Structure 1
């Protein structure tokens, strides 16, 4: 049973605590994956929303540029009065918020028409990238320029969108160009919820930064070609990955996409710290509770195991007390009989000798009457000590059999060996020189009866004890202070010679065991 094994209780508690911890870890891992999945869905939705908004507005602006080119090709448009011609060439969308002027440039880069004024503001723009790109590449299509500020002010940053004007013969006839203020992208980006450390960036396909959140004017126009993140942007039309920003060195989860047919790349990124901040808070709470629960389980198991050990120790002590004589410290009669029955079965099974010694203190009643019960108890303790000192083998058992009577069980010991042990005990008690004036020897002595079973000599263990008891009475009748063996056992061993020696000589030396 588990309650009988304190260490098993601790082991089970550790396994239980480990199982709870494993479940908690699995749950936290799933919660972490869920947090990342929600963040991925969020930035995907944001990037899709921004891409569609930017694409729609660029398409509207591009349609306006195409309308100007188509208007210039219509017969008679150039001969119309200036106000009507302005209305024909430039539609109302050009005047929308964040839209700048639309210019028609001739092949030399000079302004022919201006959507804002007539006559047009004089300007020579042949050195601008939106002009040179169209002049040098007949099939360029819509071109989006690098950011610039016509007034030199930070708040006036804008980009230009241009289309080539082709002559009837296919030659270069100039450029239609319109500007778009970067405040449009600034407001659009600021309206998105990306967390405290989130970012969003719009760049040209050549790596030029057009707008970034968080906004810093110095980042507008920088080129990101060669950075780790941009290298990933140009590899696929869209995707997502973990990366560290080259600008602020913050680790983020990026989702990027190329905007429709335009040479633009949009990326939306959430800081890993923002993604997992709520998860970390919950993980800390759950982890603390689980740790406290595990510690409590193991602590209670340890305390319970300690109580079990104390209980077992107490039970062992009680069992020992139940089997031990309180005065002499030897086994009591109950323990002796348990050992006797066990050794009897083993001796019968293995055909090995088994000897029993019964020892009685001579004239003990007279000793008690003369010297008192306290002295009697001390005498019994001394006798018990003499017995214990001469019965040393692991299998031997010494016991107080009752009153002033003691018993010794000697497994694997023949009659000669048992007589020797009995003689050693008798001599040791006599050597105590415990004064006893009522004794014929004037000191405390003992008489010892020995019986040995081997083969089919005795029917039961009880018969063996009775034989030792009979030998003890013979020793008493023969004058006390002597060791005598059961007559039948002695006769069987050596024809009765050992009995004769025991009867005639109180101090006979027994043979070695």
Structure 2
């Protein structure tokens, strides 16, 4: 075989070695380029066709307009020609020569056409002397023999109607006219003169200006020898100009019917022209339409089509690149998948986790070798069986939920459940399910977590024990203050509006108990009281707590105030029934007793402060009014008003001595004291009241104008009669004061606290140091009561 013969075979083998993906890429890009070229070709051909159509329509429009204009101008020339014929006929009549000149003038012109465009009509003899003129005033010296139109008629009499070049009227500035003339003949046919009509050229401009044209369009009237007669729009200096030698003049003079394109020598505008010959006239009329105006719409359309074509081409290229990239990705993905499948098989066969392939009916289609170690089954033994066969019956709903979450692509696609081993025991597994959309099945990856669950159970037990230790008071076994606060916060966070009641309890005179019997007995007393609380509770969700010292509390979710009072009374009675000796509590039978305050509020975000504040206020009220009792709004509503204390002699004497010692020099000192106590306790109103025989007098005032009030309406009478400090967190909900005029008025008092002023000599209460606020206030505690009592003692200084 020769070298030349071997070369093609070598090239063929080289081509066959061209990779398949390169062949596909070449075919793809070749098809894309062919598609884009076809788009461009079709678009260009369409635009060319549209341009040709636009040009042809413009040429047709120009020709139609030129024909219409030429007909109008021809009609006018025919009218003038008929006038000339009638005058020529009259002048050649034998009878015409027999009359005088004036009559001849009348015969010739009296019946002639009246037209402003006719500058004059003249009749001249063979020598050129003007014999008659419609304007009159013909002199013997008037001769037109030297005019081109006279000489043309004399030289070629048989030419009939002749049209001259533009002329300027004698003595009439730039008034341009054209002479239309007909020759006169003698009987033997020789030249005998002419009759001429001088027609103003602005007549033709007026006719041509009536055409509907664009701003750059033009209408021209030109003689056949290339002389401009008129133009619309007019152009200075163009009338009378010879344009037979300019470029494209032959096109204008030949007037091709299909139209032509030419650029004007005067304004340099490219136009589409159509020219027509006037009938029986040596004139041509041409109409030129500006190409810029004609093709403006075509240009916009061409630009739009070009832009759209570019966008389409760009989008096509963009999509092509995206498709090619996706092709490459698919090829890479297929290669990766093949590799991944091999790796997956390798990992599945050697993984410590159990991998199971499930179909849409949860039947096993693949089980990894780890099944033998997990469950004691060979993988083949588990195939084509439903997954439910080995899952604990209680845990099957968990598996269904995991599968449903995986199918819907939401969270929760893993959880823990139990599987049965071959020996019947159960192990805990953590299962993660992945949905396979192609067949609706799942891939489950199971991990043995039995040991972890055992550790978690131990940790949970330890955590529960630790939580109990953290939340429990070690002495009484009740919840501690931390757990108490957490429970109240949880109830407030629920915000469901359900009622929640709170009992605040205090062992009466417990400090004396500790001082008398010692702290070990005090601890035993606290444990006994806590046990009584648990015995008297009726609700499982009630939370008993020791919140500090001898103070205890009970949270009653879902209980109304009336129900809480029953529980409180049962607790009080149970503690009283213990009959624990307490020598310091003689007024209550010398045994351990409880004072309990009750409050209720609906569960909502701002429940804590008013609930604890009211319960604490009611507890204080129970202790203030004798201890070993339950106090609440409902109980206070049923309580009878305190009887008015008799104004006996010792009290009257103490009141009078106070007046003498404290009020003799004015009230400035007491006003200052009232201001100090209000400022120290951050209250807007402070006052010192004197409990007199018939009324209550305010002898020291700060931010209050009231001077006296009746004893029945006074707040301080409860503090004076009980000789104990008094606190009312919200006067509007306290049944003793809710209808008090000082509460129901505009900006009435809502909070009140008072400490009685005790006379050091007689021990009688003669008044009180008080503070008020226009808003409820629940944070007035033991420290604030002590401050108020200290100011009450200061007010009585000097009375001993």
Task: Specify the SS of the correspondent of 1:218.
Answer: coil
Residue aligning to 1:305: 324
1:158 offset after TM fit, Å?
0.9
The Cα shift of 1:200 comes to: 2.0
Provide the C-alpha distance between the structure 2 equivalents of 1:107 and 1:28, rounded to a whole number of angstroms: 65
Moved more, 235-244 or 65-74: 235-244
Instruction: Please give the secondary structure, in 2, of the residue aligned with 1:159.
Output: strand
Task: Give the deviation of 1:69 after TM superposition.
Answer: 0.8
Cα distance change of structure 1 residues 92 and 6 upon mapping to structure 2, 3 Å threshold:
farther
- Contact kept in structure 2, 1:94 and 1:100, CA below 8 Å: no
Shift of 1:322: 4.0
Which residue is 1:144 aligned to?
163
Alpha-carbon separation, structure 2, partners of 1:233 and 1:286? 36
* Residue in structure 2 matched with residue 476 of structure 1 by the alignment: none
TM-score (norm 1): 0.58
Please name the residue that 2:278 is paired with.
259
**Which residue of 2 is the match for residue 268 of structure 1?**
287
Partner of 1:43: 62
- Alpha-carbon distance between aligned partners in 1 of 2:81 and 2:286, rounded to the nearest angstrom: 23
Q: 1:239, 1:300 → 2: CA distance?
A: 48
Match of 1:114 in 2: 133
Whole-Å separation in 1 of the counterparts to 2:26 and 2:337? 22
Instruction: Choose which of 271, 280, 283 in structure 1 pairs with 2:302.
Output: 283
Residue 7 and residue 154 in structure 1: after superposition, are their counterparts in 2 closer, same or farther (change >3 A)? farther
Written as runs of structure 1 = structure 2, the 5 A alignment for 1:4-403 is 5=24, 8-80=27-99, 85-90=104-109, 92=111, 94-117=113-136, 123-151=142-170, 156-235=175-254, 238=257, 240-322=259-341
Q: Classify the secondary structure of the residue corresponding to 2:167.
A: coil
Q: Rg: which structure is higher? A: 2
> How many residues are aligned here?
327
Q: Which moves more between the two structures, 81-90 or 164-173?
A: 81-90
CA RMSD of aligned residues (A): 3.0
Whether the 8 Å contact between 2:63 and 2:259 is mirrored in structure 1 is: no
- What secondary structure does 1:246 align onto? coil
Q: Indicate if the aligned counterparts of 2:256 and 2:274 stay in contact, CA closer than 8 A.
A: no
Which shows bigger deviation, 63-72 or 198-207?
Answer: 198-207
CA shift, 1:204, in A, is: 1.4
- Residues 185-205 of structure 1: CA deviation (Å, up to 9, x unaligned): 111222223323222211111
Preserved CA contact (<8 Å) 2:226 2:253: no
| Residue 84 of structure 1: how far off its partner (Å) | 5.0
| 1:151 Cα deviation after fit | 4.9
Unaligned runs of 5+ in 1: 328-513
> CA offset at residue 52 of structure 1?
0.8
Q: Any idea what SS the aligned residue of 1:127 has?
A: coil
**Distance in 2 between residues matched to 1:297 and 1:91, nearest whole Å:** 83
Q: So what's the TM-score if we normalise by structure 2?
A: 0.38
Distance in 1 between the 2:169 and 2:138 partners? 19
Contact 1:146 1:210 in 2 (8 A): yes
In the TM superposition, residue 153 of structure 1 has moved relative to its aligned partner by 5.7
Whole-Å separation in 1 of the counterparts to 2:259 and 2:195: 37
CA distance in 2, matches of 1:120, 1:94: 24
Deviation at 1:78, TM superposition (A): 3.6
1:88 deviates by 3.0
What SS class does the counterpart of residue 227 from structure 1 fall into?
coil
CA distance in 2, matches of 1:82, 1:126: 22
Q: Distance in 1 between matches of 2:345 and 2:142?
A: 123
Q: How far is 1:271 from its partner?
A: 2.3
Secondary structure at the counterpart of residue 94 of structure 1: coil
Higher fraction of helix? 1
Q: CA deviation at 1:152?
A: 6.1
- Output the CA distance in 2 between the equivalents of 1:44 and 1:102: 34
CA contact (8 A) 2:149 2:179 kept: yes
Question: How far 1:326 sits from its partner (Å)?
Answer: 11
Asked whether the 8 Å contact 1:114–1:120 carries over to 2, the reply is no
The Cα shift of 1:133 comes to: 0.9
Counterpart mapping for 1:481-500 below 5 A: none
Secondary structure in structure 1 of the residue aligned to 2:159 = coil
